[in-house]
Amino acid sequence: MSKRRGYHHGNLREALVEAALDLIREKGPAGFTLSEAAKSAGVTPAAVYRHFAGREELIAEAARQGYEIFADLMEYAYDGGRPSALAAFEATGRAYLAFAQRHPGHYMAMFESGLSVNSAPELARAAHRAMGVLERAAEDLSRQIPAARRPPAGMFSAHIQAMSHGVVELFARNAPGAGSPFPPESLLETGIGIYLRGLGLIPPDE
Amino acid sequence: MSKRRGYHHGNLREALVEAALDLIREKGPAGFTLSEAAKSAGVTPAAVYRHFAGREELIAEAARQGYEIFADLMEYAYDGGRPSALAAFEATGRAYLAFAQRHPGHYMAMFESGLSVNSAPELARAAHRAMGVLERAAEDLSRQIPAARRPPAGMFSAHIQAMSHGVVELFARNAPGAGSPFPPESLLETGIGIYLRGLGLIPPDE
DNA sequence: TGTACATCAGTGAACGCGCGTTCACTGATGTAC
DNA sequence: TGTACATCAGTGAACGCGCGTTCACTGATGTAC
């Protein structure tokens, strides 16, 4: 952690963000303190103020980076709707969970810190980009549903978000419902599968 | 809040739990402090220690009471599977959301405080009872699915829990995804409806 | 290549604050006689 | 009904702690000449 070579750190800003992410992952967003982040970056708490206005801004930057990574992953998974709207949609679902598992600190900073997405414009922009992919995927896929039985795309995407977030919170961590006999990946995959079947997007017999 | 009539409070234990629930609802589980709970119950912080071993135990008691209320509501909604397994199941889904909305402090103490359900045996018992209702409802309903296409009941119930929790966290509060144009009740109701259709429990044409 | 100097990232001491927790105490309550 | 007394729920002062934040400072870096 403290790979400083002298008086100057070299890349303190990023080191602080990483320290914050580690702390958030280990103790939750509330357990994270500016002082401890500074300490684990090998620096005095006061040094933090050279790079951030305060504790809040440090968390916001961690969340922003999370939304950027998240958006990139979602876009990569969606891949412009290839090879099919259905496959691309399912890939974004898997990407959602994979992100939560691989970047728990980011995920918690984004969704559990109580941070308002509108506290900073770059944060809002990144969050909007990430959510936009999911909404687009839902829109593309929902066009395959006969218009009469088609739910609004926003509702469709909200369902998937809810299911994904629920699986992460309840079954992908040491949460209340943990100790479930099913791995979160298969829980989410089957859950989304059944849901899509309910929309007539997957044949009922398969 | 401070309806004390003299030196003795009369019902401090309950007053503290209620103060804790109010604080948790307003500031989140991390924002709640023992001192503030004592203050809003009109009492010195030291008085808390006549009734609780400390901060942690106070939160645990709030969560325990939440699980009891939750379990009662779920049992009432389930009503032994009447009038039908399907209707009873849908009622428990609605009860889940209604509980989260009507008892946000309890809900947060239960699911967002980072509290381990196994920190106290009465807490674990209450939590188990609550979750048992949902599992039983899922089991009863899943018996109506042809055995070949029937997912394990535990998975079924996990899906519903995930969707319900996700809707609460993302759309029933001022969370990141909030500002959704759909009220949480209808989000959950349609989400569960589509899911049940995917299981063949609701006819596709209805 | 060497020196003077501006820049600015970090130090370290200090602050006021609210926290959880402890302790000896006090005074209201309710029971025994 | 009245008095003595045990009980124990609450007080209030004190503690050590870590927090976020500020400030004047210092010393490493890198640029101009």
Rounded Cα gap, residues B158 and B166, in angstroms: 12
Asked if B198 reaches chain A (Cβ–Cβ under 8 Å), the answer is: yes
* Closest C1' nucleotide to B32's CA: C19
* Strand D contact nucleotides, protein CB < 7 Å: 8-14, 18-24, 27-29
- Please indicate, yes or no, if residue B32 is contained in any of the structural domains: yes
Give percent above pLDDT 70 in chain B.
Answer: 93
- Tokens representing B20? 């804790």
Mean pLDDT confidence for B99-116: 95
> Any idea how long chain B is?
206
Shared domain check, A43 and A65? no
Asked whether residue B168 carries a pLDDT value surpassing 50, the answer given is: yes
Rounded Cα gap, residues B5 and A193, in angstroms: 60
Nearest to A165 among B158, B170, B188 (CB): B170
* Model confidence pTM above 0.85: yes
Shared domain check, A79 and A7? no
Predicted confidence (pLDDT) per residue in B54-68, tens digit: 999 999 999 999 999
pLDDT of residue A6: 67
pLDDT of residue B1: 41
* Closest C1' nucleotide to B50's CA: D9
Tens of each residue's pLDDT in chain A, 206 residues: 434 556 778 899 999 999 999 999 999 999 999 999 999 999 999 999 999 999 999 999 999 999 999 999 999 999 999 999 999 999 999 999 999 999 999 999 999 998 989 889 999 999 999 999 999 999 999 999 998 889 999 999 999 999 999 999 999 986 555 567 899 999 999 999 999 999 999 887 65
Shared domain check, A90 and A43? no
Nearest to B101 by CA among B144, B138, B70, B55: B70
- Please indicate, yes or no, if residue A39 is contained in any of the structural domains: yes
Q: Which residues of B spanning 117-146 put their CB closer than 7 angstroms to strand D? A: none
- Please indicate, yes or no, if residue B160 is contained in any of the structural domains: yes
Q: Which residue is nearest to nucleotide D23 (CA to C1')?
A: A46
Asked if residue B47 keeps its beta carbon closer than 7 A to nucleic acid strand D, the reply is yes
Shared domain check, A47 and A105? no
Rounded to 5 degrees, φ, ψ at A102 are: -85, -25
Asked whether residue B2 carries a pLDDT value surpassing 50, the answer given is: no
- Please indicate, yes or no, if residue A203 is contained in any of the structural domains: no
- Please indicate, yes or no, if residue B206 is contained in any of the structural domains: no
Shared domain check, A153 and A82? yes
- Please indicate, yes or no, if residue B10 is contained in any of the structural domains: yes
Higher pLDDT, A145 or B206: A145
Q: Which residue is nearest to nucleotide C21 (CA to C1')?
A: B46
Number of domains present in the structure of chain A: 2
CATH number at residue A7: 1.10.10.60
Domain that holds residue A26: 1-52
Q: Is B187 in contact with A117 (Cβ distance < 8 A)?
A: no
Q: How many C-beta neighbours within 10 Å does residue B97 have? A: 21
Hey, which residues 117-136 in chain B have their CB within 8 Å of chain A? Answer: 117, 127, 131
Least confident window among B30-39, B54-63, B141-150 = B141-150
pLDDT of residue A10: 81
- Interface test with chain B among A180, A195, A199, by most B beta carbons within 10 Å: A195
Asked if residue A45 keeps its beta carbon closer than 7 A to nucleic acid strand D, the reply is yes
Residue B205's pLDDT band (cuts 50, 70, 90): low
